[in-house]
Structure 1
Amino acid sequence: MAALNERMLIDGELAAAAGGRTFANLNPATEEVIGQVPEAEVTDLERAIHAARRAFDTTDWSTNVELRSRCLVQLRDALRENVETLRSLYVAETGCPVGQTPGVALDAAIGYLDHYIGLLAGYEFEHPIPTKTIMGMPANRVIRREAVGVVAAITPWNYPFYLNICKVSAALAAGCTIVLKPAPDTPWSALVLGALAAEHTDIPPGVLNVVTTSDNEVAQVLATHPEVDAVTLTGSTATGRKVMAAASGTVKRVTLELGGKSAAVFLDDFPLELVAGPLAGAVCIHAGQGCTQLTRLLVPRARLDEAVDLAAAAMGQVQWGDPTDPANVMGPVINAAQRDRILGYYESAAKDGRVVVGGKPTDRFERGYFVEPTLITDVDPGATVAQEEIFGPALVVLPHDGDDDAVRIADGTMYGLSTAVFGVDQERAMGLARRFRTGTVSVNGAQWFDVESPFGGYKQSGLGREWGTEGLEDFLEVKTISFPPAR
């Protein structure tokens, strides 16, 4: 087990950092050091980038669809065979409750590789368009899609295994080569992926590289290096702005999946008691560390007190604590800085409005980065806790004065990632769904999260899309070739 998560993957070899340095991987539930991770230097990162560049330029990886498909199948199978090892490592480094790992966090994410395996079976990387006379000359034309090149993939700590799979599978399927740089808080989810790819697949050396570092200045090389053609990042909006600015010097393609402040909007004809409680409880899943979680509840003003009571009762029943206990739906947040950041928002909420449940540092555990499930109301829609992404188990309940006001409040942040709307009159609810400025909308609880559905945000929630056909095409360039018709 240890060998799977101790070394980086560079140019087909599992290796320590060139300088021999390491950094600690901490368990957020216990604050204990659970392992040491290679601390890459700039020379390590450059070696990985050069390897990716060479693999793209000198092998047939970018054009050999059969090889890419076979390697994705091998990777999927290796991950499935080692899923229990992955599970223990994942819970230890993320604090994600073990009961949630069969879903998107781990098991389901392995199965998501099937999406791109299936897509490769029938995707047309080249297709003709009709012959046409252009400037007096007949011309045949072919539209061709080709791999963008070397991709730098930068992933966060909240759902690290899923996000590594998301980016690596799309880039590999498109024919790109990759340097994956995981968050320093959750490096094992990437190192294991690299080790299994090296030992159990036919992926050529240099096609997939995994490099770990806790130094942001080292990591920034990925966004500025001239041999990197594209950057894909999942992270905060603030980080996305920095990466976008850094990549602009070489005009790299940038895909950004950033923050959210998603709203659940209740219309005046919908019975709150059906879902207000479950929505409040869902905010606490994985300690609220999900960008699409519905962290604002917008209800008709006359029903505000009812909504608050329902949400408070649900939050009071959330089971939280030790992530290795299958009964718990909420564990710790990822680190001390994040815990303190969330507590700062709780203090702000107490000043700007009313904290109904939670809102205080917890003395429930002697160690671990735990925070309380927290319910906030009586704040202005422009208040800090109603505008900024807390990324913790916090729900803000806000009143609205009708459909137009609900749309105004829901869209009244810098984010545009996701929205939900609930209404008995489904056509009315669908009308609002079409108005929201977000990348995904759920109507009456219908789920949109699926590998066939493109995912991404409007406004400062990001650029580009993941999954669907669009997720593949974000890693493809489009080329038009024109040639004379045969005589």
Structure 2
Amino acid sequence: MAQPGLNPEGVFVKHPDKLWIGGEWRAAHSGRMIELVSPNSEQVVGAVAEADDADMDAAVAAAREAFDRGPWPRMSVAERNAVMEKIAAHLRSREPELARAWTAQMGGLATFAPGMAATGTVQFDNIRKVGASFDYIQQRETQAAAAAYLAYEPVGVVAAIAPWNAPYALMASKLANALITGCTVIMKPSPETPLEAYIIAEACDAAGVPAGVVNLVCGHREASDHLVCNPGVDKVSFTGSTLAGRRIASVCGERIARCTLELGGKSAAIVRDDFSAEETAKLMTNTITLLSGQVCAMLSRLIVPRGRQDEIADAIAAEMRNVKIGYSDDPATQLGPLAMKRQLERVESYIEEGRKTADLVTGGNRPTHLNQGYFIEPTLFKNVDNKSRIAQEEIFGPVLSIIPVEDEEEAIAVANDSVYGLSGSVLTKDPQAAFDIARRVRTGGIGQNGLKVDWNLPFGGYKQSGIGREGGVDGLMAYLEIKAMYVDAPVRAA
């Protein structure tokens, strides 16, 4: 039975007061709990066990034992895949619960939540299928011996650290890559949104995953840093802020551990003259309000021809003023709350900065009709200098900056004038023009007419937007080491 009082309504995690380490639900060494606060009501709606340094070490030890001496890395891919099919079936049966957990913890719209939950399960399944069909032993031509083989082997113990904005899909993806390749895992969810990882742990338990292969510890920053520093961790897979990513990269660099980092962004959408102000307004308003703007790949800079700036700004402002702001469980709501108080304060601080350096067109305030919750109006600035903080720093909220330029060459230069390079878009009717401009923008992904991502393809960024890729075969490779073997005659490779 689920623990009453520790779960939000409609969520049925059995042991939120415990950690999952070495195949057992055990009490946290700290004896403390992490409270989960609703962004809609600002009230505590649940709680989970808080892991400290000792718990992190115990989880690493369990994962280390399971990798070094347990059956999981030595099972055939088909055997691992069969277990993962059972995990996927369990997760699929709990998608309504996963949807409710997301809404309760980070304020995601209830109308959008079922799709988010389904996407997470589909990603787990797709990665499982990619890994199941991958050829882990490949024969290659060589002049060094009679025969050569490449073996793709699991990287080892993986610390999977997921953020609070899309906790289920991102943790499920990391776990799927790790499990199908034969790695063992320590799941470290965000302390704001841990329930999805608890449901994943329960799915692994129900599917018969061997003890220690998957572990779950939820802790705050200091304990998380302790996990990353543990020499028993072979690889860190992290999605989150560039600030935290720098720390993880430095720690992994110090001990030559592997890491995959999917970090922040300040992605640009370039508007060409053949794309109307009305189309731009609808597309960009719908984009900047997605997850209340809390998307790493968000198109938060709009680069427009200088002569069209006012026309486009007026059209976007009109669209933004019609956005329905409200509580996440209201079917009419288009823009819900920000995920937490500190995020609201962060966004408000950037808006105040923007008032000093650009022209506020609309928004910028907390809505007057809502007397509780972490809400902010969709906000638009124009005449933004690309050197300013609101153009250069990730805000992670529904704030859009219009940057006017003289021509296409300057538009590309401005798009590239950023420490980030995660996503982007070209707003045009001409696919060839979109392709040609996309080739010149230094970013990990870019689409014609909108924010577009296919998780079966590699996703990641240039520059300070990260290291490595997730998705498809490219994502799988990040969880593998490559061994070259030379023998005096061809052998039966398995």
Q: Same fold (TM over 0.5)?
A: yes
Cα distance between partner residues in 2 of 1:67 and 1:18:
34
What is the match of residue 414 of structure 2? Answer: 409
Calculate the aligned-residue CA RMSD, in Å. 1.6
What is the match of residue 210 of structure 1? Answer: 216
Amino acid at match of 1:251: I
Q: Which moved more, 1:312-321 or 1:473-482?
A: 312-321
Q: Secondary structure at the match of 1:345?
A: helix
Correspondent of 2:132 among 121, 130, 133:
121
Q: Is the 8 A contact 1:333 1:392 kept in 2?
A: yes
Equivalent residues in 2 for 1:433-444, closer than 5 Å: 433-444=438-449
What is the match of residue 191 of structure 1? Answer: 198
Correspondent of 2:348 among 343, 359, 374:
343
Deviation of 1:225 after TM superposition, in Å, equals: 0.8
1:323-371 CA deviation, whole Å, 9 max, x = no partner? Answer: 0112212211111111111000010111111111111234332221111
Cα distance between partner residues in 2 of 1:432 and 1:486:
48
Cα distance between partner residues in 2 of 1:19 and 1:304:
55
Q: Is the 8 A contact 2:34 2:47 kept in 1?
A: yes
Q: Is the 8 A contact 2:427 2:449 kept in 1?
A: yes
Cα distance between partner residues in 2 of 1:468 and 1:296:
28
Structure 2 vs 1, CA of residues 5 and 327 (structure 1 numbering), >3 Å: closer, same or farther? farther
1:467 aligns with 2:477: no
Q: Secondary structure at the match of 1:179?
A: strand
Cα distance between partner residues in 2 of 1:281 and 1:108:
19
Correspondent of 2:143 among 127, 133, 139:
133
What is the match of residue 264 of structure 1? Answer: 269
Deviation of 1:486 after TM superposition, in Å, equals: 5.9
Amino acid at match of 1:29: N
1:448-487 CA deviation, whole Å, 9 max, x = no partner? Answer: 4223211000000000000111111100001100111269
Amino acid at match of 1:439: G
Q: Is the 8 A contact 1:343 1:361 kept in 2?
A: no
What is the match of residue 91 of structure 1? Answer: 103
Q: Secondary structure at the match of 2:421?
A: coil
Deviation of 1:2 after TM superposition, in Å, equals: 4.2
Deviation of 1:139 after TM superposition, in Å, equals: 3.1
Q: Secondary structure at the match of 1:220?
A: helix
Cα distance between partner residues in 1 of 2:456 and 2:286:
27
Structure 2 vs 1, CA of residues 143 and 442 (structure 1 numbering), >3 Å: closer, same or farther? same
Q: Is the 8 A contact 2:260 2:466 kept in 1?
A: yes
What is the match of residue 5 of structure 2? Answer: none
Q: Structure 2 unaligned segments of length 5 or more: list them.
A: 1-11
Q: Secondary structure at the match of 1:368?
A: coil
Cα distance between partner residues in 2 of 1:238 and 1:404:
31
Q: Is the 8 A contact 1:80 1:110 kept in 2?
A: yes
Cα distance between partner residues in 1 of 2:217 and 2:166:
18
Correspondent of 2:48 among 20, 29, 37:
37
Q: Secondary structure at the match of 2:447?
A: strand
Q: Is the 8 A contact 2:13 2:198 kept in 1?
A: no
Q: Is the 8 A contact 1:139 1:483 kept in 2?
A: yes
Q: Is the 8 A contact 1:267 1:402 kept in 2?
A: no
Deviation of 1:4 after TM superposition, in Å, equals: 5.4
Structure 2 vs 1, CA of residues 388 and 285 (structure 1 numbering), >3 Å: closer, same or farther? same
Q: Secondary structure at the match of 2:464?
A: helix
Correspondent of 1:111 among 114, 122, 127:
122
Cα distance between partner residues in 2 of 1:269 and 1:161:
39
Deviation of 1:162 after TM superposition, in Å, equals: 1.3
Calculate the TM-score normalised by the size of structure 2: 0.94
Q: Is the 8 A contact 1:96 1:330 kept in 2?
A: no
1:173-223 CA deviation, whole Å, 9 max, x = no partner? Answer: 11110101111111112122112221x212111011110112x22111221
Cα distance between partner residues in 1 of 2:319 and 2:19:
43
Amino acid at match of 2:122: G
Q: How many residues align?
A: 479
Correspondent of 1:245 among 250, 256, 271:
250
| Percent of residue pairs bearing the same amino acid type | 37
Q: Secondary structure at the match of 2:329?
A: coil
Deviation of 1:226 after TM superposition, in Å, equals: 0.9
Structure 2 vs 1, CA of residues 156 and 133 (structure 1 numbering), >3 Å: closer, same or farther? closer
Amino acid at match of 1:175: G
Q: Secondary structure at the match of 1:87?
A: helix
Deviation of 1:259 after TM superposition, in Å, equals: 0.3
Q: Secondary structure at the match of 2:146?
A: strand
Q: Which moved more, 1:335-344 or 1:67-76?
A: 67-76
Q: Is the 8 A contact 1:180 1:210 kept in 2?
A: yes
Q: Is the 8 A contact 1:4 1:192 kept in 2?
A: no
Amino acid at match of 1:158: N
Deviation of 1:251 after TM superposition, in Å, equals: 0.9
Cα distance between partner residues in 1 of 2:340 and 2:430:
44
Q: Secondary structure at the match of 1:3?
A: coil
What is the match of residue 201 of structure 1? Answer: 207
Equivalent residues in 2 for 1:19-418, closer than 5 Å: 19-64=30-75, 65-103=77-115, 105-130=116-141, 132-134=142-144, 138-198=145-205, 200-214=206-220, 216-418=221-423
What is the match of residue 11 of structure 1? Answer: 22
Cα distance between partner residues in 2 of 1:334 and 1:444:
28
Cα distance between partner residues in 1 of 2:94 and 2:363:
39
Equivalent residues in 2 for 1:445-456, closer than 5 Å: 445=450, 448-456=452-460
Amino acid at match of 2:457: S
Q: Is the 8 A contact 1:14 1:195 kept in 2?
A: no
